[in-house]
Chain A
Amino acid sequence: MSVLLSLDGVSKRFRGLVAVDQVSFAVPQGAIFAVIGPNGAGKTTLFNMIAGAMPPDAGTIVFAGEPVQGLSADAVCRRGIARTFQIVRPFPALSVEDNVIVGALLHRRDVAAARALAHQLLTQLDLFDKRERIASTLTLPDRKRLEVARALATGPRLLLLDEVMAGLRPTETDRMVAILRALNRGGLTILLIEHVMRAVMALASRVLVLDHGVAIAEGAPEQVVRDPAVVQSYLGAEEV
């Protein structure tokens, strides 16, 4: 399998604090790759550097064979990396449909064509019946799926999901897992940051564990959760 995204020695420090310390990993094309770790481990910082929200202080990020570190967020998206936000940010006063049309217009000039794609994605994410609702009136699970729809509308090759399961009930989590699996079967590579181990175990083909900004383990999910260092730092005595 060819590599779609690779990070090599990526670091970020905020004043004295080293948030991400020389992290390297590779996401194969077509994989579902999860990054887990306790709060403050540097997951979101890592994610923001990949998405172009902040430049790394050191290291390289290569996407589809080209370096993307230091590019702006919009440029990264145009290269084919779409993201969701941990704290959801749909365009609040716009309708659900218009939210997705904005994403779809990135690679389309014609609004009617963008609307057609938006309808297709909204159907896929169980939001078609709510397409005329104003985004701010949606429930949290709906807004999370709306963010995924908007990200998908930009036509990404890699989807970055920042805690997309957080705050969802188990049935909603299972629904989201099913949706992401279907997307992955369609050829989409997914990188997710996740706290909900149930979702990680169900989805991920590979897991990277961060602790205090350092990658302490990487491997298949069953293998990683048995790793003594991971159990020590993150999972604690919790049974998985």
Chain B
Amino acid sequence: MIAPLTATMSRRGAVLLALLSAALLAAPWVVNDYLLTVLIIILYFAYAGQAWNIMMGFAGQLSLGHAIYLGLGGYVAATLFTRFGIGPWLGLLAAIPVATACGAIIGFLAFRFRVAGVYFVILTIAFAEFARIGFDNWSFVSASSGLFLPVRQYAHNDLWRLRGDPAMFYYVIFGATAAIFALCHVLLKSRIGYFWLAIREDEVAARAAGIDTFRYKMIAVMVSAAVTSFAGVFYAFFYNNLFPEQVFSIARSVEIILGPIIGGIGTLFGPILGAFVLTGLAEALNAAMAACSLDLPGAKQVFYGICLLIVIVALPDGVWPPLARLLGVSRSKT
């Protein structure tokens, strides 16, 4: 995976990526626990944003219901862990097919019956809402009272069961973010990636070029759902609790797409950059308000709104494309 990754990347881009990776790898030795937790949240959003980006940024299918894959992943792994003592990595092997099957159902209904545009978006929201209401009333998973993972002080990190200190969680989500970055890069440079971009750009023209658009849209939804489910597993084991009201809520779907929108939809660095910008600035805002002993509930949401407005007005393609030109790592000419 490394060879095709470096072959198609500009030299400067590869150097920047190496520097960023080195800095992130060294972070747990340098920063305190609070900052490390912020970095975990940033990487979690970078990962989830990248996963959503496969469907929207590459294949042009807007999902506002990605919380369903997040929630299914979390619930499958957490239930297996609390009820049967099955660890999260084996749980992931169950979570991925469940989320993928759910994506396949939504995709099939939409693409088979030509539910497109706004109606497709509504369908994705509707499924997440079904799941929220369903899980809220399903006693096997403790319904609305929520699912809790046992929390204890651990003598040492147990990577197999994902129990341990923040540094362990940090490296897990860092590895996952690196892996999905590499996966997206390879996908984008492959035959399937070209077909996705063609569908995103003009579906009628894509069909005229012989592309079976149903098939490739299905693959996009299923791949996106599958990788998103890992974010759910991580979420469950990091926060140690799951409530249907929270994990399946539309707010969850929206917050994972803000990063890619701010950073640049359809780009590889956009979701990562967007996660850093949004979470980084929001935490800085929190810290600044705490320092001035200000207490304004909802300030973060207002801040997100302002960030989104600025980006939509000033940088409609997101922060990454102009930044890439500035850094000299962009190849495209307009």
A residues apposed to B, CB below 8 Å: 51, 53, 72-74, 77-78, 82-83, 85, 89-95, 98, 101-103, 105-106, 108-109, 111, 114, 132-134, 137, 150-151, 153-154
Q: 14 additional contacts, CB 8 Å, given A72-B207, A132-B331?
A: A53-B204, A73-B204, A74-B207, A74-B208, A74-B211, A78-B210, A91-B202, A91-B206, A95-B333, A102-B209, A105-B195, A114-B191, A134-B332, A154-B209
Q: Are B208 and A73 interface neighbours, CB within 8 A? A: yes
Q: Are B211 and A134 interface neighbours, CB within 8 A? A: no
Compute how far the CA of A94 lies from the CA of B204 in the bound complex, rounded to whole angstroms: 16
B residues apposed to A, CB below 8 Å: 189-191, 194-195, 197-198, 201-202, 204-213, 331-334
Q: A91-B198, A111-B191 are in contact. Are A133 and B210 (CB under 8 A)?
A: no
B188 to chain A, nearest CB (A): 11
A23 to chain B, nearest CB (A): 22
Compute how far the CA of A51 lies from the CA of B207 in the bound complex, rounded to whole angstroms: 10
User: Hey, which chain B residues are within 8 Å of A114, CB to CB?
Assistant: 191, 194
User: Hey, which chain B residues are within 8 Å of A154, CB to CB?
Assistant: 209-210
**Interface contact tally, CB-CB below 8 A:** 87
Q: Are B208 and A102 interface neighbours, CB within 8 A? A: no
Q: Which residue of A lies closest to B190 (CB)?
A: A111
Q: Which residue of B lies closest to A73 (CB)?
A: B207
User: Hey, which chain A residues are within 8 Å of B191, CB to CB?
Assistant: 105, 108-109, 111, 114
Compute how far the CA of A11 lies from the CA of B198 in the bound complex, rounded to whole angstroms: 32
Which among B194, B195, B205 has the greatest number of chain A C-beta atoms within 10 A? B205
Q: Are A90 and B333 interface neighbours, CB within 8 A? A: no
User: Hey, which chain B residues are within 8 Å of A77, CB to CB?
Assistant: 207-210
Q: A109-B191, A111-B190 are in contact. Are A133 and B334 (CB under 8 A)?
A: yes
Q: Are B213 and A102 interface neighbours, CB within 8 A? A: no
Say which residue of A51, A103, A133, A153 sits within 8 Å of B333 (CB atoms).
Answer: A133
User: Hey, which chain B residues are within 8 Å of A150, CB to CB?
Assistant: 209
Q: Which residue of A lies closest to B210 (CB)?
A: A77
Compute how far the CA of A114 lies from the CA of B211 in the bound complex, rounded to whole angstroms: 15
Say which residue of B190, B194, B201, B210 sits within 8 Å of A92 (CB atoms).
Answer: B201
Say which residue of A53, A83, A90, A102 sits within 8 Å of B195 (CB atoms).
Answer: A102
Compute how far the CA of A93 lies from the CA of B334 in the bound complex, rounded to whole angstroms: 9
Q: A91-B198, A91-B201 are in contact. Are A103 and B209 (CB under 8 A)?
A: yes
User: Hey, which chain A residues are within 8 Å of B209, CB to CB?
Assistant: 74, 77, 82, 102-103, 106, 150-151, 153-154
Q: Which residue of B lies closest to A101 (CB)?
A: B194
Q: A74-B213, A92-B201, A105-B191 are in contact. Are A85 and B208 (CB under 8 A)?
A: yes
Q: Which residue of A lies closest to B8 (CB)?
A: A111
